[in-house]
Structure formats: C-alpha cells, structure tokens
Structure 1
Amino acid sequence: MKENTNMKIVKTIEEVRQCVKEWRREGLSIGFVPTMGYLHEGHQSLINRAGENDRVVVSIFVNPMQFGPKEDLASYPRDLERDSRLCRDNGVDLIFHPEPEEMYDAGFCSYVDMSVLTEELCGISRPVHFRGVCTVVLKLFNIVTPDRAYFGEKDAQQLAIIKRMVKDLNLNAEVIGCPIVREFDGLAKSSRNTYLNAEERKAALVLYGSIRLGKKLIKDGERDAAVLIKAMKEFIQKEPLAKIDYLKAVDAMSMRQVEKLDRKVLVAMAVVIGKTRLIDNFTFERN
C-alpha cells in the first residue's frame, strides 16, 4: 500500500462517525483493524489485507476493561508517533485513538458476556478478559460500522469468539482472520515481546519449538491429543525460564477439549517466560 499523507488521527466517536458518513455517501467500503497499539509487522499484515477496501480505519486503544487487576495495563507499551508512522506508510485513512473516558463514561454499565467459548484456554487464567474484548469490539463495530474487520490468528480464541459474537448478535461486518506473522527465528510477533530481555527472548523460542514438534508428530500419524500434548509439554518444560499456563488441543469452533484429532483442532498454548505471558498456536484440519 502507498503512503497516505492525508491520514487523519481523531480522538472522538463523533469525528469517526462524521468521516464514515462521508465515505458511505460516496459508496466506499470500509476495512477496520482494531489494535491496542505498539504496532508491529503482524499488525502491518492486517492493515495491508484491509487495503482490499476503499478506506482503512485503525483503532489504537489500550482497553482497560480487558486487563485484570494484576495485569500489565499501566506498563503496556505505547508509542502513538511510531504507530502513526506505520499506519501512514501503509495507506491507513483514519486512526481512532480515544481516551478511556471517551469509550467508557462515568455511568458505563453495559457489557457483552459470552459462555462456552470463553470458558477454556485464556478464559481460565484471565476471567475478565473476554468480557472486555467483546464489549470494546462491539462498541468499535458500532462506531466504525466496517464492512470487514481483520484480526490475527495468533489470538485464535479471540478470533473464534468475535466471529461467534458477530453471528449471534447479527452484526453487519465480515470478520477475517489473518495468518500469524513470525520473527526470523519463529517467535510469533507480539507487542509484549518488548518485555523480554536477551536471555528470555532466547528462551521464548521454546513455544515455536514445541509447535514444530507437534506438527511433526501429527505428520508422522499421531492423532491422540493426550500423547501430542504430553510431548509438547515435556519439550517446553526443559526450558527453565518457561512456565506453562495452558497447552491444550481443542475443537476449533467450540474451544472444548478433544481426545482425538478427528476434526478441525486448535492446539493452543500460553507460556510465561520470566514475567511475560506469550501465546501461540497452530491448527490441524483432517483431510
């Protein structure tokens, strides 16, 4: 995508709606990439895919509602100048960068709760997380009214949850998942990678190493989920700096654990390296 020297940065819901109204009047399609900022090549790939629309909107909002009381809300990396440069260089038309007070006023008391899909994986150790994600994404969809919205497959559970919310609540947006973008050595791109020191950065490769092992076992014919997960866990546990939050094989639609790899299965993990919680995954689909 070409640099957009006319890109706007707005902070209010009304400004977004005014831009969208003008675009709709011209019959233009809108692609939307919701982010929490500190953008990297993974976000860039979403923005580039969103370029299939006439206009591209990126939100940059560190959503307080999806952080638990002991999580990294205050320390989450922020750099609007850097983010703006990446967006401008990749053809973004509008950045929506609201303050928390713009999204949640003093009397805010309406939330989106979901069952089943939120009860496994990240939902166990981060019990308030998906309530916050669903609530803010619904609000952003209502503000931006995109034709298509783009999310990374690294957050596979989040992607499945948002697709289900859109279906259940009859939202008029197509949700598109985009492939995981990795560093040269396989580590999945993440804003939280900046927390890792040199030793932890090296240790974090154990996530991708376990994925490679899991894929090889499947390629060699393994279909027993317990055997697969046991082997992958043992691989990760050899790394002293790694502590497994979860590593599970689940149905890619329902997020329920499976015993056999006999359908589309998501193998997902969250691993703490030092003090940094990282996630990664891969999907197996039977031919």
Structure 2
Amino acid sequence: MTELLSTAGELYALPRVQDAPRVVVMTMGALHEGHATLIRTARERAGTAGQVVVTVFVNPLQFGANEDLDRYPRTLDADLEIAAAAGADAVFAPAADEVYPGGAPQVRISAGPMGTLLEGATRPGHFDGMLTVVAKLLHLTRPDAALFGQKDAQQLALIRRMVTDLNFPVEVVGVPTVREADGLALSSRNRYLSDPERRTALALSRALAAGRDRLAAQAALRERAEAGAILFGTMDSWVIWN
C-alpha cells in the first residue's frame, strides 16, 4: 500500500527499518514510463527491506517569467497509481507553503558558473531554483540515495556538484534516458507538442544516433586497418625469416 503524505511531519513519522536504505525519486508529477523506470530502479536498490519515497512537487522557483507554471500538468491521482505499480512505498506531495513556509525563500542555493551555461543561458535562475528545492527535499526525505534521469544532463551534473561541494550525505545515481518508439525522450511536457513540433524535436535524438553510428563505423574501420597492419607485418617477418 503506497502512502500519500502531504506534510513534513507525516514524512518524518514514516517508519524506517534500521540499516535498510531509503531511496528517493524526485518528480514534478505528470508521471510517465521514464519516472516509472526510476521508481523501479529505486525499488531494486532499496530491496525488500528498504523504502522508496517519490516526491511530487511543481517547484515555482525554477519557472521563469512567461513559463508554464500555471499550466504544468498536475495529475496526482494518476501519479499515485503509477508510483504504486512501480514499487513506491510513499508519495510525498506537499503544497508550496509546506516546502516554502512564509513564501519564497530569501536564502537559496546558487548554481554558480555551471548554471549560466547551456539551458541556464536562456533560463536565468532556473538552476538556482532547481537546486534549492532539491536541497530542501533531500533534507526532508533524508535518503541514502537519490535517483535522477540522465535526460536532464545539466541538472544531474549540478546536483552531483552541489552534493559534493556541500557535503550532503547521499549517493546521487543517474538512470539512463527512456525514449519513445520514435526516439523522443519521454517528458511530461511532450504532451504540449504539435505534430510538426514533435518532428522537429526528433532531430536531436536522430543527430545523436547518427553521430553514435558514425563513431562506431570509424572505430570498426580503424580496428580493421590495425588488424591488417599487424597481419602484413607478421607476413613480412615470416618472409624475411625464411
């Protein structure tokens, strides 16, 4: 039975088995198969005696002006079903004033120089808000390990850096990206895409696949060339010897 928790007090009261790990999966809800894979992986790491906690919280700090905070999909009932089926013991779905009592926090985590590159260059402050809520949720859930998808590569790198720099006692684990049949990475926001936008979005995964295949072909050619050089070198030595 997956418990639904909405306050820090309920979370703190959640019983833990001594010496058994607690593994957390942080989400903003609208769960899909990518999240389910994270939860199943967490279940495997926690084992039968351990505990898997899934957080569902749409974090206002990481949404900039004119972004989709108000229309971000909120599907808690469906999320509970997916989390339960994947093996979660508890879902922590707090309100904003539970996470940020008294309003937006005055003290926040800074992403530093890493947060100004790539996605951070076009979404100023996004990664500061993301790290702030991850830090708070790590304090609230107190896990031994936290799992994050590799799809959000910059986010994962920043979380690892924060955990290292600030000495969080938690293992950060990256889980491979889950893709749809056409190669598009699973994302809660994909439901916004029109058919033309979806075709455009596929260009990235197809370019990555083409680059991977090209590197593999080059490596195979190089191996064949090196094998041929060794063979001819051996034949020359045999002729000289005889």
Instruction: Please indicate, yes or no, whether the TM-score normalized by the shorter chain is above 0.5.
Output: yes
The counterpart of 1:10, out of the listed 5, 11, 15, is 5
The equivalent residue for 1:177 is 174
The equivalent residue for 1:187 is 184
1:142 aligns with 2:139: yes
Aligned residues: 214
Q: What's the TM-score once normalised by structure 2's chain length?
A: 0.84
- What CA distance in whole angstroms lies between the structure 2 residues aligned with 1:143 and 1:201? 37
Give ranges in structure 2 of 5+ residues lacking alignment.
Answer: 220-242
The equivalent residue for 2:52 is 56
Q: Which has the higher strand share?
A: 1
Give ranges in structure 1 of 5+ residues lacking alignment.
Answer: 1-5, 223-287
The equivalent residue for 1:41 is 33
* Matched AA of 2:158: I
Q: Which has the higher helix share?
A: 2
Offset of 1:210 from its aligned partner? 1.4
Larger radius of gyration: 2
1:204 aligns with 2:170: no
The equivalent residue for 1:28 is 20
1:70 aligns with 2:62: no
- What CA distance in whole angstroms lies between the structure 1 residues aligned with 2:107 and 2:161? 19
Offset of 1:213 from its aligned partner? 2.4
- What CA distance in whole angstroms lies between the structure 1 residues aligned with 2:20 and 2:13? 14
Determine which structure has greater relative contact order: mean sequence separation of CA pairs < 8 Å that are 6+ residues apart, divided by chain length: 2
- What CA distance in whole angstroms lies between the structure 1 residues aligned with 2:113 and 2:182? 35
- RMSD, matched Cα: 1.5
* Contact residue 37 and residue 86 of structure 2 kept, 8 A: no
* Matched AA of 2:7: T
Offset of 1:43 from its aligned partner? 0.7
Deviations 1:196-217 (A, max 9, x none): 1233223322121111222234
Give the % identical residues.
Answer: 43
* Matched AA of 1:114: A
* Matched AA of 1:8: E
